[in-house]
């Protein structure tokens, strides 16, 4: 499959969507969708993100919001803006998950969700538990990084 797409065909690599019910700012939703696409290998280093104009047309969003999302991706080291050319995906800090590993993890998660439902936990409760786990993981990562810096 050819990965160097023309701007007209970029929409095949990632299609943005917004959910106003989440309370998550629109720019953050775009950033998160790119992060997930990179993590899952849908977007690879060198792939071009849709132009701001394409995103604005696709999901009826303010162009400044798209610019803000793309700037945040640049600051995070996930994308690089090239004047006159567009915004391109950079190599992620961690390699994307393999399809086999993704399938295995999805199976484990699916079993866990079924157990949680059987125990009486609703979808909102499951989301809260996952969010708590992710926050704790982020805090542990930050703590590990601080300890590593202090050791140096």
Q: State whether residue 111 is helix, strand or coil.
A: helix
- Which pLDDT score, from 0 to 100, does residue 134 have? 77
**With contact defined as beta carbons under 8 Å apart, do 44 and 83 qualify?**
no
* Residue whose pair of structure tokens reads 């704790």 in the numeric block: 136
Instruction: Say how far apart CA 78 and CA 142 lie, in whole Å.
Output: 19
CA dihedral (25, 31, 37, 39) positive or negative: negative
pLDDT tens digits, the chain, 152 residues: what are they? 334 444 444 444 789 999 989 899 999 999 999 999 988 888 999 999 999 999 999 999 999 999 999 999 999 999 999 999 999 999 866 666 787 888 898 899 999 999 999 999 999 999 888 888 877 765 665 555 444 445 45
Instruction: Say how far apart CA 37 and CA 56 lie, in whole Å.
Output: 19
pTM attached to this predicted model: 0.60
Instruction: Say how far apart CA 151 and CA 13 lie, in whole Å.
Output: 42
CATH code given to domain 7-89: 1.10.10.10
- Which pLDDT score, from 0 to 100, does residue 93 have? 62
Q: Which residues of 35-68 are buried (b: 16+ CB within 10 A; e: fewer)?
A: eebbbeeebeeebbbbbbebbbeebebeeebbeb
């Amino acid at each position: 499959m050819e990965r160097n797409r023309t701007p007209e065909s970029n929409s095949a690599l990632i299609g943005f969507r917004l959910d106003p019910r989440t309370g998550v700012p629109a720019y953050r939703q775009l950033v998160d969708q790119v992060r997930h696409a990179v993590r899952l290998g849908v977007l690879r280093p060198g792939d071009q993100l849709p132009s701001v104009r394409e995103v604005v047309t696709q999901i009826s969003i303010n162009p400044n919001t798209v610019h803000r999302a793309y700037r945040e991706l640049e600051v995070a080291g996930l994308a690089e803006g090239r004047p006159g050319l567009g915004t391109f995906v950079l190599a992620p800090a961690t390699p994307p998950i393999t399809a086999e590993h993704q399938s295995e993890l999805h199976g484990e998660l699916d079993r866990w969700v079924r157990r949680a439902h059987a125990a009486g936990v609703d979808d909102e409760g499951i989301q809260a538990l996952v969010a708590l786990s992710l926050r704790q993981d982020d805090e542990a990562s930050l703590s590990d990084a601080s300890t590593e810096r202090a050791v140096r």
